């Protein structure tokens, strides 16, 4: 058994064990008790639903690796989508030319990046706790969005945007392809760049990172700016999918983004984590959601189960950490 565990860790990494075990468990349980779970329809549904949650999880990932968090991801996505919507409305709404969509995307990215940069600057220069800063930013963005939209939604966009939310390319949903590209970018960022090394150093020990010569403030601002930019990408996808923007779209994803990150092996205190295990964890959670729907589970019960699963994941992480520590001592 020990040799099998060591081989698995050597090939895939210890942080992949949790997502893989969870994937096998979900497939066995729902494959047995939920009709049509192991069908192309189920996997097709997962492929279409995964990108929104996935992009918001990527937005959450970098702050978590620095030992922080970004509680404003969903509302940053909403406000970014709202900025894009206004640009399209200003250029004719349903009759807006393709060039207007380009400007709309730039407006969304600028909005998301600005929200992230302000959050990062507040954390870096005031040394306030990320939970307090991002909670404040979440409340601000939500209030601003509701004020600007008067609590309603903005709709009526060009038909050429529909494929971005519902279209396919080479048999795969276009939003899923965009998400996979973003996963690749985050993987390269964390494994091949100085910024990736620096943010992991900050997550491990910010004081040691500062004494080693890293500009920790600059890195923190960049991390939250990138988080905001990823929120903007999610906002654009949601705009295309729903053909409308409303403050509160995807609000229920906040807890699940944190859950996906922790299930994917991200250290809750920062300093360690990879993108690929988080990608597998996202697939597991989306399969779990589809399985619950097939079983006819009440939406409120499903929400309660997310909370229970969060506790189980954290407890399991502690047990596995102790087990692997004992293995290392024996070696």
Residues whose CB falls within 8 Å of the CB of residue 200, separated by 6 or more in sequence, listed in order: 65, 190, 270, 271, 272
pLDDT-derived band of residue 199, with 50, 70 and 90 as boundaries?
Answer: very high
Q: Over the stretch 9-37, which tens digit does the pLDDT of each residue have?
A: 555 666 777 788 888 888 998 888 888 88
pLDDT-derived band of residue 4, with 50, 70 and 90 as boundaries?
Answer: low
CB atoms within 10 A of CB 83: 25
Radius of gyration of the chain (CA): 20
Taking the whole predicted model, whether its pTM rises above 0.85 is answered as yes
Average pLDDT value for the chain? 88
| Backbone region of residue 76 per phi and psi (left: phi > 0; alpha: psi in -120 to 50; beta: other values) | alpha
- Give long-range contacts, CB 8 A cutoff, 24+ apart: 34-42: 34/291, 34/294, 34/295, 35/294, 36/294, 37/290, 37/291, 37/294, 42/287, 42/290, 42/294
Gap between the Cα atoms of 110 and 60, Å rounded:
18
pLDDT-derived band of residue 132, with 50, 70 and 90 as boundaries?
Answer: very high
Two structure tokens written together for 7? 């081989």
Helices H / strands E in the chain, number of each: 14, 4
Predicted local distance difference test score (pLDDT) of residue 57: 96
Question: Looking at the predicted structure, is the pLDDT value of residue 121 above 90?
Answer: yes
Question: Looking at the predicted structure, is the pLDDT value of residue 161 above 70?
Answer: yes
Gap between the Cα atoms of 18 and 261, Å rounded:
11
| Domain residue spans of the chain | 2-330
Question: Looking at the predicted structure, is the pLDDT value of residue 266 above 80?
Answer: yes
Of the candidates 241, 195, 235, 197, which has an alpha carbon nearest to the alpha carbon of residue 219? 195
The second-level CATH assignment, the architecture, of 2-330 is Orthogonal Bundle (1.10)
Q: Over the stretch 277-324, which tens digit does the pLDDT of each residue have?
A: 999 999 998 998 888 888 887 777 777 777 787 787 777 766 766 665
Q: Compute φ and ψ for 246, nearest 5 degrees.
A: -140, 135
Query: For the chain, where are the E strands, in sequence order?
Result: 153-155, 168-169, 172-173, 244-246
Give the residue-averaged pLDDT of 238-243. 90
The distance between the two most distant Cα atoms of the chain, rounded to a whole number of Å, is: 69
Q: Which CA distances in Å does 295 have to 126, 286, 288?
A: 48, 14, 11
Helix (H, G, I), strand (E, B) or coil at 89: helix
Helix (H, G, I), strand (E, B) or coil at 244: strand
Gap between the Cα atoms of 101 and 107, Å rounded:
10
């Amino acid at each position: 058994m020990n040799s099998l565990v060591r081989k698995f860790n050597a090939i895939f990494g210890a942080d992949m064990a949790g997502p893989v075990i969870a994937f096998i468990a979900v497939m066995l349980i729902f494959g047995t008790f939920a009709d049509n779970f192991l069908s192309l329809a189920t996997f097709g549904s997962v492929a279409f639903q995964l990108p929104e949650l996935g992009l918001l999880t990527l937005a959450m990932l970098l702050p978590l690796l620095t030992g922080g968090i970004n509680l404003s991801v969903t509302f940053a996505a909403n406000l970014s989508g709202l900025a894009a919507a206004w640009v399209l409305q200003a250029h004719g709404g349903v009759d807006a030319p393709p060039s207007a969509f380009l400007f709309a995307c730039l407006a969304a990215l600028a909005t998301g990046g600005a929200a992230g940069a302000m959050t990062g600057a507040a954390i870096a220069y005031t040394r306030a706790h990320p939970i307090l800063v991002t909670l404040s930013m979440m409340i601000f963005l939500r209030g601003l969005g509701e004020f600007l939209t008067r609590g309603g939604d903005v709709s009526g966009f060009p038909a050429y945007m529909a494929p971005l939310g519902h279209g396919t390319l080479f048999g795969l949903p276009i939003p899923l392809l965009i998400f996979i590209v973003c996963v690749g970018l985050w993987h390269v960022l964390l494994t091949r760049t100085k910024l990736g090394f620096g943010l992991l150093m900050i997550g491990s020990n910010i004081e040691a990172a500062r004494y080693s010569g890293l500009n920790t403030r600059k890195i923190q601002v960049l991390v939250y700016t990138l988080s905001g930019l990823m929120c903007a990408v999610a906002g654009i996808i949601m705009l295309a999918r729903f053909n409308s923007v409303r403050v509160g779209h995807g609000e229920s994803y906040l807890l699940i983004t944190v859950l996906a990150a922790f299930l994917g092996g991200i250290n809750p205190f920062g300093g360690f984590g990879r993108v690929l295990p988080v990608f597998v964890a996202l697939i597991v959670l989306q399969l779990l959601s589809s399985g619950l729907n097939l079983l006819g589970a009440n939406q409120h019960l499903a929400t309660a189960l997310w909370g229970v699963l969060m506790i189980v994941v954290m407890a399991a992480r502690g047990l596995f950490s102790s087990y692997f520590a004992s293995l290392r001592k024996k070696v």
